[in-house]
Amino acid sequence: MFTERPKFYAEYIALVVFGVLSLVLVPAILFVRLPYEKLSLVAVSVLALCVVLISTVTYQSLSTYVRTYKMAQKLSKDLLVHSRELFYELYRNSPVPYILIDMEGKVESANTSAIRFFGVHEGTLDGTDFFTYIEDDGTNKTNFIPAYFKQGKPISDAEVSLHKADGTIRYAILSIFLYKDVEGRQKGLLTLVDITKQKMVDKAKTEFVSLASHQLRTPISSLRWNVELFEGIPDVTLTDTQRQYLRKITDGIARMDSLVTDFLSVSKLELGTLKPHYETFELSDFLGSLHEEFRLHAEKKNVTFETNWSEHFGPITSDTRLLNMALGNLLSNAIKYTPQNGVVRGAVTLNESTITFRIEDSGIGIPGSDHEMIFSKLFRASNVESKGIDGTGLGLYIVKEALRVIGGTISFESREGVGTTFIAVIPRR
Amino acid sequence: MNTEQSKKVLVIEDEQDLREALKTALSNESFEVHTAGDGEAGLQMALEVKPNLILLDLMMPKLDGLGVLKALREDEWGKNVKVIVMTALDDLERVAEVLEHGGSEYLVKSNISLGTVVAKVKEKLKV
């Protein structure tokens, strides 16, 4: 703002010279009788007085201006110092860990939060290579960071695990912004957002579901295997009633298994522990296994199961587990709600951006009044209870949520007593 | 039962009911069956008995199935032993890890019959 001082010396000299000349000229006219003798003494005196007054006022104004300028300059300096101090205090005491690094990744300075994050003393990080603190997780998710930064590119929101001085691991979201210091050298301002607690909670949730799954499934496996051993005992002839009891036990086990699967799926979807794992696979192979699994269910119920799934669709990229969860539930429902001698059809169509799965049945259909609620958790259509069809009301909720996780959608068309078609659409990655 | 030609199978499974069911089913097929109730005991028994195949549960106390598998693969004899890993459905995330450490087969207990487990064992041992 005040980068160059104005030159006032000429004005000062002019003022002094003019003042002196005025004071010398007036007596000279009066007493030496120069050719100006006819000039009125009063007029000359007034003129001289005016000159003196103007000079005085000008001098006063200039002095004020100079004083104001000096004050402004001092204020500007103070502001600069103050803002530097403020910036430093914010940097030092920010709850966000900040680290300044050079373009080789060497730490030049770390704020209090960063020091606390790594559990070290002040100055310990200085001069060390920051990138050596990043834990190599064996994937390419974090390995790119040093090379990328050294090429002069900023890093945004990379999830990393960092090892502390005591060897423990902390998780963080890392970003590196590029800036130039006062000497014009490029540097990096590194920020860390500590997500260790969040990671621990996620891990605890996953472990809980895993443990619950193990504990619930083990007795089911035990029941199933022991029934199998019982049935395999040689030379044992069962009466029809005994066989009926045994079949009821087997059916009960199957139902319990299915319930546990549903409850665990809902828990995982709601706890957010079902993260998509994308892989590329042959769609025909995937659908072939699904067809094989549900063909037996359909046969048992004397329902015709037709598909176009044997066509060659080529490879697709998705999460097989979640896709299987969604399509498996749709097929299970279609067969369950279709009466004997009915038909269930599966069709797949692919276009450039989406893959559409249609599961059509000739079942009991969904009453119009239930259409809005059909994907709600624990909701069952009003016409299923009267027909004595068993279910938990979780299947379509699971379908909707599983598809949501992989970026898909679900819709349906239905006429009560005629049948229902569910249409699942997933993005083609 | 022709014990001279019996192949040895070690079942490492912490759930007693499942361990006994597997033992009965495999014994019925003339295998010489050994059992262990946790990972540590299983590893020790494996190195002593040197079975032809190990049926290994993944979630176990003391030393889990993956730990047993890693330890086996570091042993001169254990690095080549056939291992079938069994687990509950929700450990599917660990399939890749198990296969990476040389688990030759992966069975999900909750949706597999005892008959299928026995068939897999026979297939692996070419019996």
Nearest chain A Cα distance for residue B49, angstroms: 26
Of the three residues A228, A259, A275, the one that is the final residue of a domain is A275
**Which tens digits make up the pLDDT trace of A222-235?**
999 999 999 888 88
Q: Is the dihedral of CA A368, A373, A375, A381 positive or negative?
A: negative
Interchain CB contact of B55 with A (< 8 Å): no
Give me the interface pTM, i.e. the ipTM.
Answer: 0.88
* Binary contact (B22, A225; C-beta < 8 A): yes
Task: Closest CB to A213: pick one of B18, B89, B114.
Answer: B89
In this predicted structure, what is the pLDDT of residue A277?
84
Tens-digit pLDDT profile for residues A154-199: 999 988 989 888 888 899 999 999 999 888 899 999 999 999 998 8
- Supply A285's token pair: 């192979």
Per-residue pLDDT tens for A86-106? 888 898 899 999 999 999 999
Shared-domain flag, residues A250 and A325: no
- Which of A295-304, A351-360, B98-107 has the weakest average pLDDT? B98-107
pLDDT at A407 over 80: yes
Confidence band of B127 (pLDDT split at 50, 70, 90): confident
- Contact yes or no for A321 and B92 at CB 8 A: yes
Whether A294 and A257 share a structural domain: no
Beta-carbon separation of A228 and B17 below 8 A: no
Whether A202 and A156 map to the same domain: the answer is no
Question: What is the average pLDDT across A356-383?
Answer: 91
Same domain, A254 and A107: no
Mean pLDDT, residues A5-23 taken together = 63
Mean of the pLDDT values across residues A111-134?
92
Q: Average the pLDDT over A326-349 and give the result.
A: 95
Q: Which among A91, A119, A145 is the end of a domain?
A: A91
Predicted local confidence at residue B68, as pLDDT? 92
User: Are A217 and A210 a contacting pair, CB within 8 Å?
Assistant: no
3-state helix, strand, coil in chain A (%, to 5): 55, 20, 25
Q: Within an 8 Å CB–CB cutoff, is residue A36 touching chain B?
A: no
Q: What are B21-70's pLDDT values in tens digits?
A: 999 999 999 999 999 999 999 999 999 999 999 999 988 888 888 899 99
**Quick one: A83 and A99 in the same domain?**
no
- Please state the rounded mean pLDDT for residues A12-18: 68
CATH of the domain at A137: 3.30.450.20
Looking at residue A386, its pLDDT comes to 74
Within this chain, do residues A403 and A386 fall inside the same structural domain, yes or no?
yes
Contact B114 A264 (CB under 8 A): no
Which two three-digit tokens encode residue A178? 């590029």
- How does pLDDT run across B95-117, given as a tens digit for each residue? 667 777 666 677 877 778 899 99
End-to-end CA distance of chain A: 56
pLDDT band at B1 (very low <50, low <70, confident <90, very high): very low
Residue A135 lies in a domain: yes
The answer to whether A217 contacts chain B (CB < 8 Å) is yes
Q: Is residue A3 part of a domain?
A: no
A253 and A140 co-located in one domain? no
The answer on A134 and A15 residing in a single domain is no
Number of domains observed in the structure of chain A: 4
Torsion of CA A135, A139, A141, A145, to 10 degrees: 60
Q: What residues in A contact B21, CB-CB < 8 Å?
A: 222, 225-226, 228-229
Q: Is residue A4 part of a domain?
A: no
Tokens coding A410: 């679900």
CB A213 within 8 A of CB B90: yes
- Structural domain containing residue A341: 276-429
Choosing from A91, A117, A134, the residue where a domain stops is A91
In-domain check, residue A268: yes
Average of per-residue pLDDT across A252-265 = 84
Query: Residue A42 has what pLDDT?
Result: 66
Q: Are residues A336 and A424 in the same domain?
A: yes
- Higher-confidence residue of A22 and B66: namely B66
Would you call B113 and A222 a contact, using CB atoms and an 8 Å cutoff?
no
pLDDT on residue A14: 64
Asked whether B13 and B35 are in contact (CB, 8 A), the reply is yes
Interchain CB distance below 8 Å, B114 and A218: no
Tell me, yes or no, if A261 comes closer than 8 A to chain B by beta carbon. Answer: yes
- Kindly give the pairing relationship between strand A409-415 and strand B32-36: unpaired
Establish if A13 belongs to a structural domain.
yes
Query: B88–A217: do the CB atoms touch at under 8 Å?
Result: yes
Say if residue A302 is in the same domain as residue A280: yes
Tokens representing A307 are 């598909």
By residue count, chain A amounts to: 429
Q: What is the pTM of this model?
A: 0.58
* Same-domain status, A47 and A172: no
| Strand arrangement of the beta sheet that strand A155-163 belongs to | A107-110, A98-101, A186-194, A169-180, A155-163
Q: Considering the domain B3-125 in this protein, what is its CATH number?
A: 3.40.50.2300
Closest Cβ opposite residue B113 in set A220, A228, A257: A228
What is the per-residue pLDDT for B8?
96
CA dist., res. B27 & res. B22, Å (int): 8
Entry field: residues in chain B: 127
Whether residue A212 sits in one domain with residue A79: no
Q: Does B18 touch chain A (CB under 8 A)?
A: yes
User: What per-residue confidence (pLDDT) applies to A25?
Assistant: 66
Average pLDDT taken over every residue of chain B: 86
From the list B17, B25, B93, which residue is nearest A222 (CB)? B17
Determine the pLDDT at residue A237.
85
Which among A214, A271, A281 is the top mutation candidate for probing chain B, defined by the most B β-carbons within 10 Å of its own β-carbon?
A: A214
Whether the per-residue pLDDT at B6 is higher than 60: the answer is yes
Burial profile B44-53: b = 16 or more Cβ within 10 angstroms, e = fewer: ebbeeeebbb
Q: Mean pLDDT, chain A, as a whole number?
A: 86
CATH number of the domain to which A393 belongs: 3.30.565.10
Q: Check residue A97 and give its pLDDT.
A: 94
In a domain, A2, yes or no: no
Q: Does A213 contact B18 at a Cβ distance shorter than 8 Å?
A: no
Nearest to A55 by CA among A10, A24, A11: A11
Q: Which of A221, A226, A268 is the closest to B110 by Cβ?
A: A221
Establish if A1 belongs to a structural domain: no
Looking at the partner chain, which of B25, B91, B109 has a beta carbon nearest the beta carbon of A221?
B109
User: Would you say residue A206 has pLDDT above 80?
Assistant: no
Find, among A145, A140, A142, A111, the residue nearest to A125 by Cα. Answer: A111
A229/B24 Cβ within 8 A: yes
Any B CB within 8 A of A265 CB: no
pLDDT > 70: percent of chain A: 89
Looking at beta carbons, which residues of chain A come within 8 Å of B91?
210, 214
Say whether A209 and B90 touch across the interface (CB within 8 A). yes
Q: Are strands B32-36 and B8-12 parallel, antiparallel or unpaired?
A: parallel
The domain limits of chain B are 3-125
Q: Say yes or no for a CB contact (<8 Å) between B110 and A217.
A: yes
- Cα atoms in the 13 Å half-sphere on the side-chain side of A25: 17
Position A127 scores a pLDDT of 93
